[in-house]
Every structure is written in C-alpha cells, then in structure tokens.
Amino acid sequence: MKLEYIPQLGGYVPYRDNEMRTNVKNIFVAGDLAGIEEATTAMIEGKIAGLAVSRELTGVDVQSEIEKMQRELVEFRSGPFSEKVRNGLERFFTQKTMNYSTKMQENEGPIGKIRPIIECFENIPCNPCQTSCPTGAITVAENINSLPIIDYSKCIGCGICAMKCPGLAIFMIQENYLPERDLVAIPYEFLPIPEKGQKVVALDQEGHEVCEATVEKVTKSPNKTHLVYISVPEGLSKTVRAFRLPEQSESVVCRCEEISVDQIEKAIEEGYTDYEELRRYLRLGMGPCGGRTCRAIAVAILAKKTGRKIDQISLNTFRPPIMPVKFEAIVRGEMKHEK
C-alpha cells in the first residue's frame, strides 16, 4: 500500500481517492487511518467507503448517494479550522470549498424576556443549536461553519439550545427577574449539582469572582449538561457566565480509594514527600483505575507543597498489567497454550 508522509493529516497516511479507495485493489480506508480530523468527517468517510464497496459488490448504482456524502465533506472542511486538512488532502485530489457566514448576532433580544445569548465566535462545523431548537428560531446560514443567528420573534426561551451546545457557548438571561435582580442560566456539567436556594459564587468569562448569586432553578438534562438558573444583582446578567460552589475542604483526588486533598497535604506535611511513599502510605492510585485518574493531580499537589517542579518528582514503577485483566482471560490463554 502506498503511504505518504503528510504532517497536515497526522503523519504517514495511505493514498486514497475521493471515494476512500487506496492503490491496493479492494482496500478502502476511512477515519483516523485516512487522516486525523474530527468524528463527523470520519463517519462521513466511512459512509462513502461503505457505499463504494457495496456498489462494487452488488453493481447497484449509488453514485448520487456518494456525491451527497462528498458534498457534506466539502461543507465540513470549508471552515478556517480545516485549512490544514484541506492542504494535506491536496496531495491526493483537488479540494473544493463553500462559502460560510461570519456575521455575528447583533440583536440581543427583547429586554426583560428570558432568552438565549449565543457567544459563539468561531467558524467551526457545529449546529446542534439549530437542529435542537423546537421552533426553528436558530439558523446556521449557508453552511455548517457559519455563526448561528437567533430570530427572537420565534424564541420561546426553553433553554434547549443551551443544554445542547457542545461548546457551552449559549446562556439564558432575563433582566428584572426579581426586584433589583437579573437571571442568568448557565450550562453546568460538574458534580454535585447545586440545589434551589443554594448560594454560589458567580464568575465572569475569565473566571474572576463577580458577586454572590442564588440558585433559583435547575433544569436537568439526560445528556448531563444541566441548566442552572442563578439570580444576580441587577445589571450583571451580561457579565456573569459561570459560577462555582463555595470552597469545600474534602475535595476528592483518588475516587477509587476516596482520598482527599486534605489527606494528601497532611501526609506531605508529615514527611511523605515522594510519590511512591504517598502511594504506599495512603493507597493512592491502588484502586481499579491504577492511578490513571489521580496520579497527575497528586503529583501536582506534591510539587506545590514541596516547592519542586513536576518533572523533578519520580513516579511509581509501572508494572503489568497496565490495565485490569480478568482471571478468566488468563485462564483461557493458559488452556489454549496447553492444547
């Protein structure tokens, strides 16, 4: 199989044409094997390859379906963030592009009405806000790389778009929700989920503290992006874009063994200043995940407490199996060997 080194596609990749066919008869490629992109383009490439294979096996004419998928690829790759991929693919075949809109939302909607504010400023291939809106109030014009625009005359303030946005770039606001209080709805993906009446610390876009806020309502979502409505002092609805819960001393680092930040810091103060010592003393990283979740956090805490750089701290010895293996798999392997 012919391989070419194309840095824009992630390194050595096999030659393929625009139907995902390599130079070897009956071998097609798709997804990361064909070049590193994002998930949607990988799935479209897989569909193209599948259609081309089915056509060769059955003789059924699926050219129109293939061309439709190819147009979708052109649309996805037309944005500024796909320029590198387009340059890489030029080594194989000519790349086309489609126009997209860079127009940003100017109208912020009717004052005093609960409504979404979209703060998406990048031309990326994304449109869940449009596809999830039950009233068709949000449109992504020209192609999927365009910036979304809201028609507030159609908007009912349901907040679905804010929960569906993968970039958490949509917020809900309402001025004068209460006397001298505005309302801000923030997409939230952390645990624990705050409850109505709870006090939280409101933050701006850069994470700076703005004010104290009160949780007014929580709309939970099956996709785990919940919408937390908080009331803030009048005039701050356009400033507050996040919040955090009040400081808690029992932040857990190692969830497998339920070891907290306080326990790690106390052990360091007692003289356990080596990661291996901490691991043996606290059973840090000895749970089912083998430290894959907590190791980096524990090392960062150790570096901060001892004044050392992270690269100056020795990690524990990695011994096989790196991943948990069931005894059943070992027994099967032994039985197979005996035969």
> What are the extents of the domains in the chain?
3-89, 115-244, 248-339
253 CB-near residues (< 8 Å, 6+ apart): 259, 260, 261, 264, 284, 294, 297, 298, 301
Residue 176 and residue 231: Cα distance in Å, rounded? 10
Tokens 């824009």 correspond to 8
Q: Give whole-number Cα distances, 9 to 6, 38, 42, 205, in Å.
A: 6, 11, 13, 33
Q: How confident is the model at residue 256 (pLDDT cuts 50, 70, 90)?
A: confident
In contact, 20 and 29? CB cutoff 8 Å = yes
What pLDDT was estimated at residue 252? 86
φ and ψ of 210, to 5 deg: -110, -50
Helix (H, G, I), strand (E, B) or coil at 329: helix
Does 115-244 match 248-339 in CATH topology?
Answer: no
Q: Please say whether the structural domain 248-339 has been given the CATH code 3.40.50.1820.
A: no
With both helix axes pointing from N to C terminus, report the angle between 63-76 and 39-58 in degrees, rounded to the nearest 10: 160
**Residue showing tokens 């089915």:** 54
Nearest CA to 2 out of 25, 31, 30 is that of 25
pLDDT for position 215? 97
Q: 319: pLDDT confidence band, cut at 50, 70 and 90?
A: low
Residue 249 has pLDDT above 60, yes or no: no
Coil, strand or helix at 304: helix
- Taking 90 as the threshold, does the pLDDT of residue 314 lie above it? no
Residue 334 has pLDDT above 80, yes or no: no
- Determine which helix (DSSP H) or strand (DSSP E) holds 336, and give its type and residue range: helix 327-338
pLDDT at 246: 82
Q: Give residue 327's pLDDT band: very low, low, confident or very high (50, 70, 90).
A: confident
pLDDT over threshold 60, residue 226: yes
Please, what is the average pLDDT of the chain?
91
| Average confidence (pLDDT) over 105-112 | 92
Q: Among 2.60.40.10, 3.30.70.20, 2.60.120.10, 3.30.365.10, what is the CATH number of 115-244? A: 3.30.70.20
Residue 97 has pLDDT above 70, yes or no: yes
- Token couple for 139: 């449109």
pLDDT reported for residue 117: 96
Determine whether 252 is exposed, middle or buried from the number of CB atoms within 10 Å of its CB (0-12, 13-18, 19+): middle
